[in-house]
């Protein structure tokens, strides 16, 4: 529970109304009731204020808001969505249990755990693990030997972190994600039987990374699979061994990146995009959903689509031709018939 004044101080706003009013929830403007704080970001939503029961509304300083006759309270901010993000993160953190170390958790005596760390029941912490201040670890998490996790990182239930992995500050790892599993690497012997190639490397997750639920990031064969600062990964993503993903890249669900591919900075990847192994992708590249990337794209800042992925404009032009192929085929067949008829007439 917060007061309007406390929320305003948190998000850097200015209160118009009663600063001591208590707020117990956050909701959209159409459904916010008494005790809730809501928001509007543009003039199209001002019409909802008249019937709203919200106790407070976050509004941008670019809008002129008039009182709706119901003693509405406002927090005026420069950027509504940035302010809302700060508020929601705070509410989320408040909702996550932080009761210290549960008595049903196992922690190796050889690990180094900061006294502010929260660890849920049935979580297993192996030897030589280092957990920095402010970390929250939920229930049923496994953390292998020699793992290091940075400050204020949040690990949700069911996450598995294999030996030697490193996670930076302010990261979020959602439920049932696996970090550091073996890569998919098998070679057939002379009899055609596949022999497993062990992976001895690790996974490095830098600061401010968020990894969605059920995502898997494989350890390197040698060296490290690296997720750079600010990367955001959706649910159900596969990142293979020795991949490197550049700063502030975002990847949507069900995408897969094969081994040793290097993704640049600020790349945007839609859902179900697949990358071949050993590729280099330039900074700022963008890939539409379901694209298949099978060649290097060293030149960045372009939009691609299709399988194989090509320049977006060329893909759109090709799509027009593809949709008309049946008609074009019929015209070609008719033209061939006419040519045959003309040749027959000339030979008569």
In this model, does residue 41 exceed pLDDT 80? yes
Mean pLDDT on 304-315: 88
Residue 129: the pLDDT is 98
Global pTM?
0.82
Mean pLDDT on 71-87: 91
- Beta strands 130-131 and 112-113 are parallel
Rounded Cα–Cα distance for residues 192 and 287 (Å): 37
Phi and psi at residue 181, to the nearest 5°: -70, 160
Task: Give the residue among 12, 25, 5 at the shortest CA–CA distance from 73.
Answer: 5
Rounded Cα–Cα distance for residues 162 and 168 (Å): 15
DSSP letters for 274-315: EE-TT-EE-TT-EE-TT-EE-S-B-S-S-EEETTTTEEHHHH
Rounded Cα–Cα distance for residues 261 and 277 (Å): 5
Which residue did the predictor score with more confidence, 326 or 203? 203
Report the sign of the C-alpha dihedral through residues 88, 94, 100, 101, in that order.
Answer: negative
In this model, does residue 166 exceed pLDDT 80? yes
Phi and psi at residue 57, to the nearest 5°: -135, 130
Task: Give the residue among 138, 160, 165, 163 at the shortest CA–CA distance from 149.
Answer: 165
Give the rounded percent of residues in the chain with a pLDDT score beyond 90.
73
In this model, does residue 262 exceed pLDDT 90? yes
Peptide bond into 308 cis (omega under 30): yes
Residue 43: the pLDDT is 85
**Both tokens assigned to 117:** 């760390």
> What average pLDDT is seen over the chain?
92
Rounded Cα–Cα distance for residues 22 and 2 (Å): 6
Mean pLDDT on 268-297: 97
**H helix or E strand, kind and range, residue 164:** none
Edge-to-edge strand list for the sheet holding 142-143? 106-107, 124-125, 142-143, 160-161, 178-181, 216-218, 238-239, 256-257, 274-275, 292-293
Kindly report, residue by residue over 284-293, the tens digit of the pLDDT.
999 999 999 9
Mean pLDDT on 105-127: 96
Task: Characterise 341 by phi-psi region: left (phi > 0), alpha (psi -120 to 50), beta (else).
Answer: alpha
Q: How confident is the model at residue 71 (pLDDT cuts 50, 70, 90)?
A: low
Rounded Cα–Cα distance for residues 281 and 258 (Å): 13
Provide Rg for the chain, Cα atoms.
28
- Positions annotated as catalytic residues are 241
Q: How confident is the model at residue 69 (pLDDT cuts 50, 70, 90)?
A: very low
């Amino acid at each position: 529970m917060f007061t309007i004044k406390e929320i305003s101080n948190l998000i850097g706003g200015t209160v118009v109304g009663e600063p001591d009013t208590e707020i117990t929830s956050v909701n959209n403007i159409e459904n916010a009731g008494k005790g809730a704080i809501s928001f509007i970001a543009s003039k199209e939503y001002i019409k909802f204020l008249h019937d709203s029961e919200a106790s407070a509304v976050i509004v941008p300083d670019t809008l002129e808001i008039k009182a709706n006759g119901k003693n509405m309270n406002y927090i005026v901010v420069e950027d509504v969505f940035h302010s809302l993000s700060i508020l929601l993160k705070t509410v989320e953190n408040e909702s996550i249990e932080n009761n210290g170390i549960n008595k049903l958790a196992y922690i190796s005596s050889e690990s180094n755990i900061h006294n502010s760390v929260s660890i849920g029941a049935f979580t297993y912490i192996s030897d030589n693990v280092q957990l920095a201040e402010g970390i929250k670890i939920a229930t049923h998490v496994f953390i292998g030997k020699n793992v290091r996790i940075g400050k204020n990182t949040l690990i949700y239930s069911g996450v598995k972190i294999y030996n030697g992995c490193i996670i930076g500050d302010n990261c979020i790892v959602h439920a049932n994600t696996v970090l550091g599993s073996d890569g998919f690497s098998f070679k057939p012997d002379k009899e055609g039987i596949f022999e497993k190639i062990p992976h001895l490397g690790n996974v490095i997750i830098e600061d401010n990374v968020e990894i969605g639920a059920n995502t898997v990031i494989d350890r390197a064969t040698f060296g490290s699979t690296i997720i750079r600062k600010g990367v955001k990964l959706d649910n159900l993503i596969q990142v293979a061994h020795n991949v490197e993903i550049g700063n502030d890249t975002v990847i949507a669900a069900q995408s897969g990146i094969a081994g040793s591919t290097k993704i640049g900075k600020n790349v945007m990847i839609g859902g179900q995009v697949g990358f071949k192994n050993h590729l280099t992708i330039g900074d700022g590249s963008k890939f539409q959903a379901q694209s298949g990337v099978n060649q290097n794209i060293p030149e960045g800042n372009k939009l691609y689509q299709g399988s194989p992925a090509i320049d977006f404009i060329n893909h759109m032009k090709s799509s027009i031709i593809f949709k008309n192929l049946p008609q074009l085929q019929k015209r070609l067949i008719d033209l061939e018939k006419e040519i045959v008829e003309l040749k027959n007439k000339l030979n008569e």
